[in-house]
Amino acid sequence: MKLARVIGRVFCSRQEHALDGKTMLLIQPLRWEDESPLGDPIVAADAVGAGSSEKVFWVASRDAAVAFKDAPPVDAAVVGIVDGHQVKDFRRAK
């Protein structure tokens, strides 16, 4: 799973019928370590009801399609809302 922040919503006047009723979000992928942007924003189908500016988990490829009961044709899906996380460098010996 990957980390991202919801930065907007995407509205379509026409879309594949399998996407009807699904919210499309614009998300900015983030690094886990410092939450800095990682690459360009992407469009992801929302499976959990995420809102504006929330940090989310997202998945890509086949995992994105199986996040939904009806397996719509999507390349990315938001599958969780992140309340918090902790990153520690476990490679350091203490």
Tell whether the model's pLDDT for residue 3 goes beyond 90. yes
Higher pLDDT, 89 or 37: 37
Alpha helices, H only, 1-94: 62-65
Backbone angles phi, psi at 63, to 5 degrees: -60, -30
54-78: per-residue pLDDT in tens?
Answer: 999 999 998 898 888 888 889 999 9
Report CA-CA distances (Å) from 85 to 45, 55, 82. 23, 10, 7
Classify residue 21: in a domain, yes or no.
yes
Classify residue 92: in a domain, yes or no.
no
pTM for the predicted model, two decimal places: 0.85
Tell whether the model's pLDDT for residue 93 goes beyond 70. no
Classify residue 94: in a domain, yes or no.
no
For the domain that residue 50 is a member of, what is the CATH number?
2.40.50.220
- Domain span at residue 34 reads 2-81
Classify residue 86: in a domain, yes or no.
no
Classify residue 91: in a domain, yes or no.
no
Classify residue 10: in a domain, yes or no.
yes
DSSP β-ladder status, 42-46 and 55-60: unpaired
Q: Are residues 29 and 10 in contact, defined by beta-carbon separation less than 8 angstroms?
A: no
Tell whether the model's pLDDT for residue 85 goes beyond 80. yes
Quote the tokens at residue 7.
Answer: 């930065």
45-60: per-residue pLDDT in tens?
Answer: 999 999 999 999 999 9
Q: How many domains does the chain have?
A: 1
Classify residue 89: in a domain, yes or no.
no
Classify residue 67: in a domain, yes or no.
yes
